[in-house]
Amino acid sequence: MSKRSLLFCALVACAGASRAEAAIRHVPERYRTIQAAVDASRPGDVVEVGPGSYCGATLDVRVDLIGHQTAIVGCEEGPILFGELRAGFYLPGANGTSGASGTHIEGFLFDGRGISDENLDPLALGVFARFASDVRVEHNLFLGGVQAITNTAGDRWTIEQNRIEGLTLFDCADDGLCAGGDGIVIQIARDDLAAPGGSAAPVNRPEENLILDNHVAGAIPDGFDYFSMAGIFVFAADNTLIARNRLEIPDNPSADASGDGVLISDVCCDEPAVTPGARNTVVMENDGRGSQFAVVVEGTGGANTQGLVLRDDLGTVMIQGQVVSSAGGRRQSRIDHGFRRTLF
């Protein structure tokens, strides 16, 4: 048995022991809002949320959030990120730590339908985290929105059996917002979010994350040509496993932007390439036939191919600008994959 397996077993045993002592906090029977239940929680408590529509919450403690026919909608009272974007659950952190590490989120509908530069009332972001580790996000439904699940510099996440439908983006029109279009993001901490040590410091790099059995679908707007859309975007992360996902970001003949099922890169946001790039990425048994490209590995000179494993992925695969396997009949993108101004 591997060290990771032994560690996982130990964590499960510990979780089972702590669950017996955990308080169960019911919304709305006992607490009117999810935020009130979270604010009253101690590490390991369970927040059970009943049917209905609710604002999201900022999580500064490890909790199990369990929804039962529960919709999370955009609210002024919920998390607001980047000054104006409404989010579902926000897991803040800094310098490699987050009080929300170990959180479990399951059974919610995140409603971002109708989001646009002209309408910021719906959710733009579903689950958004910084430096939170050991997080599980599973069995949720994300409708609309521009970035469903975002893990910045967190380790050992499990993102499993979620559905992301109607993924969209901010289309850069008329000098408006210009970002989004990514379903699941595993990204390095950068700029003012980064802990000391820069891009090579392990504390700033997401490690050992699992993305399994998710379904991501979105559509490129007509005439859009600023950056590609991606079902799963791995940005300068280490030891990421991406397996058995179904990814549908189809080609739009009326747009120059491409639809990438899985995108692995060291470049983002109109900034210089990150060094080192993505390392030890395993991409296997994903179905990207519904996307223009099933898998895209960017960069040159092996920037993102160190330890790369690709196996049994369905659809067109492009590595460092070269198509290495093709489902046939796919239009080649005219956009430079090295230019991306998409991530929050």
Please state, in angstroms and rounded to a whole number, the distance separating the CA atoms of residues 144 and 138: 18
Cβ-proximal residues to 32 (8 Å cutoff; 6+ apart), any chain: none
Closest among 79, 76, 40 to 57, alpha carbons compared: 79
85's tokens = 């974007």
Q: Is 22 left (phi over 0), alpha (psi -120 to 50) or beta?
A: beta
* The predicted structure's pLDDT at residue 270: 78
Cα separation, 211 vs 158, whole angstroms:
6
In this prediction, residues 285-291 reach a mean pLDDT of 98
Percent of all residues in the chain with a pLDDT value above 90, rounded to a whole number: 81
E strands, 92-145, where? 104-112, 125-130, 136-138, 141-144
How confident is residue 20, by pLDDT bands cut at 50, 70 and 90?
low
Please give the Cα distance from 179 to 30 (Å, whole number).
Answer: 39
Tell me the average pLDDT across 101-120.
97
Which of the pair, 331 or 161, is modelled with greater confidence?
161
Asked if the model's pLDDT at residue 32 lies above 90, the reply is yes
Name the CA radius of gyration of the chain, rounded.
Answer: 19
Average pLDDT, the chain: 90
Interstrand relation of 169-171 and 178-180 (parallel, antiparallel or unpaired): antiparallel
Element (H, E) at 321: none
227: pLDDT strictly greater than 50 = yes
- Structure token pair of residue 178: 């210009």
- pLDDT, mean of residues 161-186: 94
CA distance 179 to 107: 27
Question: Going by C-beta distance under 8 Å and a sequence separation of 6 or more, which residues neighbour residue 276?
Answer: 199, 200, 236, 266, 303, 306
Residue closest to 123 by CA, chosen among 35, 55, 182, 70: 55
Q: Contact, 86 vs 37, CB < 8 A?
A: no
Query: Residue 329: pLDDT above 60?
Result: no
The domain spans of the chain are 23-108+116-125, 146-344
Least confident of 18-27, 152-161, 166-175: 18-27
Integer Cα distance of 228 and 214 in angstroms: 20
What's the mean pLDDT in 30-34? Answer: 98
Which range among 105-109, 318-322, 330-334, 340-344 shows the weakest confidence by mean pLDDT? 330-334
Mean pLDDT calculated for residue range 201-206: 94
* pLDDT at position 88: 98
Q: Which two tokens stand for residue 117?
A: 């530069």
Residue 86's nearest CA partner among 118, 48, 128 is 128
What pLDDT does residue 193 have? 76
pLDDT at 7: 38
- For the purposes of burial, counting CB atoms within 10 Å of the CB of 175, is it exposed (0-12), middle (13-18) or buried (19 or more)? exposed
- What was the pLDDT predicted at 272? 87
Residue 260 has pLDDT above 80, yes or no: yes
pLDDT value of residue 344? 77
pLDDT tens column, 78-99: 999 999 999 999 999 999 999 9
Residue 231, amino acid: G
For the residues 104-133, what does the mean pLDDT come to?
A: 97
Instruction: Give the tens place of pLDDT for each residue, 263-282.
Output: 999 998 878 899 999 999 99
Q: Please, which pLDDT band fits residue 286 given cuts at 50, 70 and 90?
A: very high
Report the pLDDT value the prediction gives residue 4, as an integer from 0 to 100: 43
Q: What pLDDT is attached to residue 342? A: 59
Q: How far apart are the first and last CA of the chain?
A: 38
Find the Cα–Cα–Cα–Cα dihedral 320, 194, 88, 291, rounded to 10°.
0
DSSP string spanning 206-232?
Answer: -BS-EEES-EEEE-PPTT--SS-EEEE
